[in-house]
A and B are shown apart, each in its own frame.
Chain A
């Protein structure tokens, strides 16, 4: 099956710093989503981005499908950005996501 690798596994940031999270995948995908999992377990959808670039406030994401990677940018980080960020891909038409192992982000005041 498809392999999804996220890096780095852990990230500690000072409030106000910028960062880039990476997701590599081993096969072509129909769907790619970035999620933020809060401390209570809720997976919040950040971006639905099978290709191209999107921005939402301080967050933006880019997927280069031909090179099989996606990047999530966090700018001017805030303590509320802390949590685990997951990249998940769909390889078929249905909802069988393959998740990466996640990046644990801690933003300190």
Chain B
């Protein structure tokens, strides 16, 4: 049990739609990071939030955006969905320079 909850667990969307994925963590975990994991690959860093500000971004276009809220929850928003966005999306929370805990992920299918 990592204390990190993601919702929904599965989602099916069509190309061009928008999607919002959610993550909630334990109290005190003031960093949240989002990762995309394509089938058969390791997770790829999308971005990280610290105290509600974006604090680093990987090689993902601006249609991937996020929010972090004061209650330690977070959202990942993806606009104009493309077929290649089909993947497992993982969030990780923790404290800087410390162990990071991952949620179970949201599996997104774009048709």
Q: Which of the segments A33-41, A54-62, A64-72 contacts the partner chain?
A: A33-41
The answer to whether B33 touches A96, judged by C-beta atoms less than 8 angstroms apart, is yes
The answer to whether B56 touches A94, judged by C-beta atoms less than 8 angstroms apart, is yes
The answer to whether A96 touches B58, judged by C-beta atoms less than 8 angstroms apart, is yes
| Contact A94-B55, Cβ < 8 Å, known A43-B90, A45-B99, A102-B42 | yes
Is A101 interfacial (CB-CB < 8 Å)?
yes
The answer to whether A94 touches B90, judged by C-beta atoms less than 8 angstroms apart, is no
Is A26 interfacial (CB-CB < 8 Å)?
no
In the bound complex, residues from chain A placing their C-beta under 8 Å from that of B99 are 31, 33, 45, 48
How many residues of chain B are within 8 Å of chain A by beta carbon? Answer: 31
In the bound complex, residues from chain B placing their C-beta under 8 Å from that of A30 are 97
The answer to whether B101 touches A45, judged by C-beta atoms less than 8 angstroms apart, is yes
In the bound complex, residues from chain B placing their C-beta under 8 Å from that of A45 are 2, 99-102
Is A83 interfacial (CB-CB < 8 Å)?
no
User: Size class of A's contact patch?
Assistant: 20 to 34
Set B32, B101, B104: member contacting A41, Cβ < 8 A: B104
Q: Which residue of B lies closest to A104 (CB)?
A: B40
The answer to whether A101 touches B101, judged by C-beta atoms less than 8 angstroms apart, is no
- A98 to B42 alpha-carbon distance, docked (Å): 9
Residues 15 to 38 of chain A near chain B (Cβ within 8 Å): 30-31, 33, 35
The answer to whether B104 touches A94, judged by C-beta atoms less than 8 angstroms apart, is no
User: How distant is A70 from chain B, measured CB to nearest CB, in Å?
Assistant: 15
The answer to whether A41 touches B107, judged by C-beta atoms less than 8 angstroms apart, is yes
Interface residues of A (CB under 8 A from B): 30-31, 33, 35, 40-45, 48, 86, 88, 90, 93-102
